């Protein structure tokens, strides 16, 4: 075999390996440049991304602000009773929906999560946070209110609903965390707690009275 043929064959074999070397390198290195894209797919197209500028509009923003007064779907909070605890401009004295046993159970469960840490399981304002603040002698600490004062017992349900929604004085607002239906369920449970701590013999079913005496 002529010598030039052998050298030529070796050379061709070495060149044939080059694509594999390049592919192997591409798999382990990164590049800031967009890869070569002969056929433009939808992942690579001329379009505006969020927060980009667009000289077409006078304010230069590509993303257009919503039309003033736009209301997102499912966010029409028009019902004053359900969402603000008000009826005819006054604090509601009724619930916006009937309170049955599952609602009350839900209220108890939500109360235990959101309110009991401060107000205590029975609503005397002696929750674990209040106990800890007492222990630390926190200056400026305002103890959580007891639900069993005449003042809070006489609050209309709409007022208590509003207290949960927007907070009151030093108590923070829980409206952003608790949906309106759950806030009403909690109000129902607060009412149940108030009744339980202020019960008379009239609240006991007659057939159970003898057991009490």
Closer to ligand HEC by CB, 106 or 119: give it.
Answer: 119
- Determine which residue in the list 142, 199, 204, 209 makes contact with ligand HEC, applying CB under 6 A: 142
Residue 21 and residue 205: Cα distance in Å, rounded? Answer: 89
Of 1-9, 37-45, 113-121, 203-211, which segment contacts ligand HEC by CB under 6 A?
113-121
- Determine which residue in the list 99, 188, 190, 193 makes contact with ligand HEC, applying CB under 6 A: 190
User: Strands, DSSP E only, in 56-154?
Assistant: 86-87, 90-91
168 touches ligand HEC (CB under 6 A): yes
**84: number of Cβ within 10 Å:** 17
Residue 99 and residue 188: Cα distance in Å, rounded? Answer: 7
CB 174 within 8 A of CB 162: no
Instruction: Please tell me the count of residues contacting ligand HEC according to CB under 6 A.
Output: 22
Q: Minimum distance from CB of 142 to ligand HEC (Å)?
A: 5
193 touches ligand HEC (CB under 6 A): no
Q: How far is residue 185 from each of residues 110, 157, 192, 213, measured CA to CA in Å?
A: 8, 11, 11, 34
Residue 158 and residue 82: Cα distance in Å, rounded? Answer: 9
- 51 to 90: interface string for ligand HEC, x by CB under 6 A: ----------------------------------------
Closer to ligand HEC by CB, 62 or 125: give it.
Answer: 125
From the list 127, 122, 106, 110, the residue with the least C-alpha distance to 171 is 127
Residues that bind ligand HEC (CB under 6 A): 114-115, 117-119, 129, 142, 144-145, 152, 155, 160, 163-164, 168-172, 174, 186, 190
């Amino acid at each position: 075999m002529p010598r030039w043929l052998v050298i030529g064959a070796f050379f061709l074999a070495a060149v044939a390996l080059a694509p594999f070397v390049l592919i192997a390198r591409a798999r382990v290195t990164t590049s800031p440049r967009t890869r070569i894209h002969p056929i433009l797919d939808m992942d690579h197209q001329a379009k505006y991304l969020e927060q980009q500028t667009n000289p077409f509009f006078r304010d230069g923003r590509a993303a257009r602000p919503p039309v003033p007064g736009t209301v997102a779907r499912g966010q029409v909070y028009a019902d004053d009773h359900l969402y603000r605890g008000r009826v005819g401009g006054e604090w509601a004295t009724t619930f916006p929906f009937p309170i049955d046993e599952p609602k009350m159970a839900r209220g108890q469960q939500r109360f235990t999560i959101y309110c009991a840490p401060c107000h205590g399981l029975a609503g005397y304002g002696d929750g674990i946070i209040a106990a800890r603040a007492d222990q630390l002698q926190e200056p400026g600490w305002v103890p959580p209110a007891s639900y069993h004062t005449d003042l809070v017992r006489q609050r209309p349900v709409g007022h208590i609903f509003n207290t949960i929604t927007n907070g009151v004085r030093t108590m923070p607002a829980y409206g952003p965390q608790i949906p309106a239906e759950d806030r009403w369920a909690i109000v129902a449970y607060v009412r149940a707690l108030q009744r339980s701590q202020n019960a008379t013999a009239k609240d006991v079913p007659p057939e159970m009275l003898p057991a009490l005496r």
